[in-house]
Amino acid sequence: MASEFEEIFGFLRDSRPEVRLLASQHVVGFTGTNQHFDIFKKDDGAAVKTLMELTHDTPEISHEALRALINLSADTDILNVLNSDGFIYHVILQILLPKSLLADLYCMLLNNLSKYTPITLKLVPEDNYNNPVAKSTDDNSDAPKKRTHQLDNLLEVFVRGESKKFNPDAEYHFLAGVFANIASTRVGMVYFQGRSNVDQQLRLSKITAYTEHPNIIRRGGCVSTVKNCCFDVKYHAELLRNEELNLLVYILLPLMGPEDYDEDDYEGMPAELQLLEPTKTRETDANLRQMLVEALLLLTNTRNGRDYLRAKKAYPILRNLHLIEKNEAVRDRIERFVDVVMADEPKDNKIEEIDDDSSDEEEATHFEAII
């Protein structure tokens, strides 16, 4: 069997494009499960490297090579082979090019690549490694500017590309998973605290707008990104009180239905959450509801955060959610939130903080490799 595979791998380098296409289609069939992954690791990942080269081939051959690499990227050893600066640059470039026919496949591959921490860290601008708060870089070094440009432009393409006006052949939904994976690292959280070098808007504000998007891939990755950013306790005051970001509204709104509240409940509640349309629906996916409630739980880790959530009437919103929630995991998180927020506070007003070491890679988001 191994020799049969190796013979097909040889045809991937054939001078005839029709042979390379047929061979790459056969190879995709070997990558549907991890049963044959060890064969791709032989000779220092030679077959994987050939597939990487084929992404520069004709669109038809590139398509098949990408499908195979997306499947293979479920394996850590193969991710190590894919961890090539030149290849990562090629993947990002193919996403950013407005006429790229395979941009969505490249987005899916980049998502899977970004779950591998050594690659994730390469995607984050270097100035986030040393600065406590991410800022636009003004120095003359090429590397930070280059990486900042790439990631900020991926974020920009994510926003502009959703309508297909940027690229009629792509929607860029899978980039949401890339951002979630980046935000699962400490330096990634710092990155999202800063402003984009493209337009000086808060990077996280480009993400929060999609917590109710109809596409579950896009909104799921964005919800995960928001939750991951909430692990940074030192950032909580900015997350909650920054009017430009308006984060609490984007967390609570997906958890709300069309029901009315008592006058006392409305007092202090953000205006965007009041008197919603009768057609308003809650998030339908239980995993996403759970992540949203967990984000709120993370924001209760300081006294200031708890006081703010009380003042903005997060409790009555979760109380109404609890009344109709059937998922036990979500109900558990709601009950934990209520226990914390409704408990009596110590008189010394001491701020309680969690150990933010737990934030690293806490909620990396990946998608099924098989397509």
Beta bridge partners of 202: 195
CB 85, CB 91: distance < 8 Å: no
Which residues of the chain fall below pLDDT 70? 1-2, 128-149, 347-371
pTM of the prediction? 0.89
CATH classification code of 83-359 = 1.25.10.10
Q: Give the pLDDT of residue 369.
A: 40
Nearest CA among 126, 127, 129, 37 for reference residue 82: 37
Nearest CA among 279, 63, 89, 269 for reference residue 169: 63
Distance between CA atoms of residues 67 and 105, nearest Å: 8
**For 307-345, how does the pLDDT look when each residue is reduced to its tens digit (9 = 90+)?**
999 999 999 999 999 999 999 999 999 999 999 998 888
Q: Give the pLDDT of residue 4.
A: 77
Burial string for 13-28 (b: 16+ CB within 10 Å, else e) reads: eeeeeeebbbbbebbb
Q: Give the pLDDT of residue 242.
A: 94
Q: Give the pLDDT of residue 57.
A: 98
**For 190-214, how does the pLDDT look when each residue is reduced to its tens digit (9 = 90+)?**
999 999 999 999 999 999 999 999 9
Q: How far is CA 128 from the centre of its chain?
A: 18
Which 8-state DSSP code applies to residue 262? Answer: -
Q: How far is CA 153 from the centre of its chain?
A: 15
Residue 169 CB-half CA count within 13 A: 15
Q: Give the pLDDT of residue 364.
A: 53
Within the chain, all domains assigned CATH 1.25.10.10 are found at: 83-359
